[in-house]
A and B are shown apart, each in its own frame.
Chain A
Amino acid sequence: MIIGEQKTLKEIMDNLSGHGSILVAGCRSCVAICLAGGEKEVGVLSEALRIHSDLEGLNWTVGEVTLERQCEKEWVREIAPLVAEVDCVLSLACGVGAQTVQELFPDTRVVPGLNTSNMGAPEEQGLWNEKCGGCGDCVLHLTGGVCPIARCAKSLLNGPCGGSQEGRCEVDPDTPCAWDQIYQSLKRLDRLKLMEDVIPPKSWIPSRSGGPRRIMREDALLTEDEKRAKEGLE
């Protein structure tokens, strides 16, 4: 899932400067799970904005809504009547959700309330770790199911660097060395031989090196007729 965390209240207030009516829009998916932008956070932040407005005499009106998913147009369209009433949407979704809202409502300014951080997983209550670098060319079959692109500070592909000590990364002793974890995992899986293969330079084309990525499933695309029929049903 996508992990994000809320911007500081001060930054959010600064970014809203000049607006009078604000819709705080949350998202019930990833950012709700990482306690950054779900229904509860929308309520707390909206209240904080109202108090700030009262204290500063700003006369803000602050509305609240939480979408099922802010990254999908079907869900986002539903808030059109609410967006029409405001001059700014404060999105508590990840960057994908915030951009989807802006695309659908191009004449209303969308301000991000979160910093989108990474693709990760909840480790334990209150702790989320990055797991995937989204490089578009998965190597987990070679690395014991541990991603060296996301989890090694140098994204190395041929084993731990000289800074690995007692299973810890040289960059931060609180971080496990990804390659130590890969080694232990391959040992458990009886595939340590993989550590002996030299992995050649990787292609970064499916990663960040060719502009925004696009995946298209020709078999799933709707024809123009089907699109019209679908709109009719909606």
Chain B
Amino acid sequence: MKAGSNIERLFDKGEFVVTGEIGPPMSSNPSSIQEHARHLKGFADAFNLTDNQTAIVRMSSLASSVICLQEGVEPIMQMTCRDRNRIAMQSDLLGASALGVRNLLCLSGDHQTFGNQAESKNVYDLDSIQQLMMLRRMRDESKVWGDTDIKEAPRVYLGAAANPFADPFEFRVTRLAKKVKAGADFIQTQAIFDMERFERYMKEARSRGLHEEVHIMAGVVPLKSLGAARYMKNKVSGMIVPDQLIDRMKGAEDPKEEGISICVEQIHHLLTIEGVHGVHIMPVAWEKKLPEIVERAGLLPRPVL
């Protein structure tokens, strides 16, 4: 056991793991996280707390994670390379571990020019693969990067993101392999709409044996409207939304209901793919729908260990 987090124990037992996501508020008021945590508790095994997603200033992922812990919900703290150098990253991990955060997701982060601090100087002292190397070393070797000993190593289960839909496609599995080599215990993928491409990606991952070295969680996003589908197709880089899904949303009498149905179908499909050990549901600003998705996908009740 590396960290003893809920999702680590579930993966170890061979359970199909479900994670969700809670976006921290653009405010110092903790109530929205508390409400989401209470409402979503029991419908997923852990929840990502995003780190200033789309480079918009929000409550810190560390503070938001601790608020989740106070509500009895397991957090996955996200940490981007955009805003902190290796000193801050290591310091934040020590602090997070001390406060009981047991999962951490390593990310490059969205570029700051997409957010509300476009004029800022970014950091990117490390990339997400180097970040994994460094944080794993802290956990497994009790060393701060360099060679200083840590008296009590942080206990953390390390995650990384993967995008099977960015280019060049041939390199995507190699990059996954590098993340595994650098220390990823679990992977959450970018939202999957193009199942055919994801199947090819998983086939390649399996041929390298990666599905046995790391727990791959397939990412899904429920489509809220035709506009949202088009936006993701046209404006979100590294995302492929097939025309057939756009057409389905276009023809739907109740687009919201159709979006949820598509998401549930996707999860059923993902459950059949060898090497997929879980699903990561990202109901962007639609957190309240997560219980319905999980229930209709037949993933309830969540196992309690």
| A, B: real partners | yes
Chain B: interface secondary structure? loop
Residue-wise, chain A 198-210 has the 8 Å CB interface mask toward B (1 for contact) of 0001111101111
Instruction: Return the CB mask of B210-254 against A: 1 if under 8 Å, else 0.
Output: 000000000000000000000000000000000000000000000
Most buried by B among A202, A208, A209, A210: A209
Q: Cα distance A96–B119 when bound, in Å? A: 26
List 14 additional A-B contacts (Cβ < 8 Å) besides A202-B119, A209-B112, A210-B113.
Answer: A201-B119, A201-B120, A203-B119, A204-B119, A204-B120, A204-B121, A205-B113, A205-B118, A207-B121, A208-B121, A208-B122, A209-B113, A209-B119, A209-B122
Question: Size band of the A side of the interface?
Answer: under 10
Bound Cα distance from A117 to B113, whole angstroms:
27
Give Cα A209–Cα B118 distance, bound, in whole angstroms. 8
Specify which chain A residues have a CB less than 8 angstroms from the CB of B112 in the assembled complex: 209
What are the residues of chain A within 8 A of B118 when measuring CB–CB? 205
Distance (whole angstroms) from the CB of B191 to the closest CB of chain A: 24
Interface residues of B (CB under 8 A from A): 112-113, 118-122
Q: Report B-chain residues with C-beta under 8 Å of the C-beta of A204.
A: 119-122
* Chain A residues proximal to chain B, CB less than 8 Å: 201-205, 207-210
20 residue pairs bridging A and B, Cβ less than 8 Å apart: A201-B119, A202-B119, A203-B119, A204-B119, A204-B120, A204-B121, A204-B122, A205-B113, A205-B118, A205-B119, A207-B121, A208-B121, A208-B122, A209-B112, A209-B113, A209-B119, A209-B120, A209-B121, A209-B122, A210-B113
Instruction: Across the interface, name the chain A residue whose C-beta is closest to B117.
Output: A201
Determine the residue in chain B with the shortest Cβ distance to A206. B119
The 5 residue pairs across chains A and B that have the minimum distance between CB atoms: A203-B119, A204-B121, A205-B119, A209-B122, A210-B113
- Residues in B with CB closer than 8 Å to A209 are 112-113, 119-122
Chain A residues with Cβ below 8 Å from B122 are 204, 208-209
| Minimum CB–CB distance for A211 against chain B, Å | 8
Q: Which residue of A lies closest to B112 (CB)?
A: A209
Which residues in B have their C-beta under 8 angstroms from that of A210? 113
Give CA–CA (A204, B113) in the complex, Å: 10
Residues of B within 8 A of A201 (CB): 119-120
In the complex, what distance in Å separates the CA atom of A18 from the CA atom of B119? 45
Closest-by-CB residue of B relative to A210 is: B113
A208–B121 Cα gap in the complex (Å)? 8
How distant is the Cα of A205 from the Cα of B115 in the complex, in angstroms?
13
Which residue of chain B has the shortest Cβ distance to A201 in the bound complex?
B119
Residue ID in chain A nearest B120 by CB atoms: A204
Rounded to whole angstroms, the CA-CA distance of A205 and B113 in the bound complex is 8
